[in-house]
Chains A and B, each alone.
Chain A
Amino acid sequence: MPFSRGIVVLSIDGKFQLIQCLQATAERDVPKSKLTTALLILLPLSAVAGYRFDAPETYLAEASALPAWGDTLERHADERTAIDDCMLTEEKCEGRLNGLRVILHKGANLEPDQQLKLVNRYINKRRYRRDRKQMSLSVAEGGQAKLRNHWSTLLDFLYRGGDCEDYATAKYFLLRELGYQADDMRVVVSYDHSVRQHHAVLAIRQADDSSWLLEIDNTIRKSRQSGYRFIYALNENGIWDHED
């Protein structure tokens, strides 16, 4: 059986081309057992790799460059007054702030691993709700309205619930209240091959430069393989672009 010759280069970002195979022709009569098989990786490497924080070349813009996210950061900054008042004086806590006060006071005394578990489970207990109604309509040039993601603040989410990006942002803001640094966390939007949709998850940087993903089913994915293709990430310090 004749084989064609080509070149395959497996690059670190998972792109691939045809690699060199042996060309066997009928005249040469080369046995199949001696043929070198070409390696064709069907899935890009990036789809299975863990999230990486240490890629400065992926920095795209300041956080405010994404208006909806910038708006969320401003609203959260305003809400922090109510949160801080509640932390100082129990009488100033209303509704969900009572529970939040317990989380922050008692969570502060836990080990880091336990803090992540606590935050993950506390936020994941909230009601899941598709936020199509909460999506903001923005009128683009030419007057055509577009649906855009609505990013929840912590209190938005505690009172109204949301969907996966809201879980991720709520965890981000709550961990910030517990003292985690913004530079060690990013809300990562990715393409989930298993459901063929875009998904959002919170990534936490670890001391060994690996990252943990806080999932919506209470698992904390510590593997260097994620099954996601990362698209972009954001925190209050910037936006990172992970697509070519």
Chain B
Amino acid sequence: MKRMIFAVFCLTAGIGWAQDTDESKVEKTEKVDLRMSVIESIVVTAQKAPVVSTDEPDEDIDAILGEVESLENEDERK
């Protein structure tokens, strides 16, 4: 009899835990969906236009960018 009661108790607790787990999963999914909806609604609008570089000069980088600019100018002339 005691074993039966204990078994019923474990079964009931197990069912209750499973239901809680399912509910918390649903809650988590709903929370993620809500946050995703908020994130999607954020529109990036900062109007920052590039300004003249204040970066330190670097000969290697300047050379590479100079070569790229020449190629692009040549391409635009075609």
Contact = CB atoms under 8 A, between A and B. Distances in A.
A192 B42 CA distance: 13
B1 interface: no
Contact of A60 (B32, B55, B68, B71): B32
A176 interface: no
B75 A118 contact: no
Interface residues of B, number: 31
Given A117-B58, A218-B54, A148 B40 contact: yes
Interface in A160-201: 163-165, 189, 192, 195, 197-200
Given A103-B64, A114-B58, A122-B68, A98 B44 contact: no
A224 interface: no
B2 to A, nearest CB: 44
Contacts of B54: 217-219
Contact of A198 (B35, B40, B46): B46
Interface on chain B toward A: helix, strand, loop, or mixed SS?
A: helix
Contacts of A192: 46
A125 interface: yes
A199 B51 contact: no
Contacts of B51: 217
Given A122-B65, A219-B54, A110 B60 contact: yes
B55 A241 contact: no
Nearest to A113: B58
A68 B48 CA distance: 22
Interface of B: 32, 35-36, 38-51, 53-55, 58, 60-61, 64-65, 67-69, 71-72, 75
- Closest 5 A-B residue pairs measured CB to CB? A199-B46, A218-B53, A99-B68, A197-B46, A218-B55
Given A102-B71, A106-B64, A189-B44, 16 more contacts: A99-B69, A99-B71, A110-B61, A121-B53, A122-B68, A128-B48, A128-B49, A164-B46, A195-B46, A198-B42, A198-B44, A199-B46, A217-B50, A218-B50, A232-B39, A241-B35
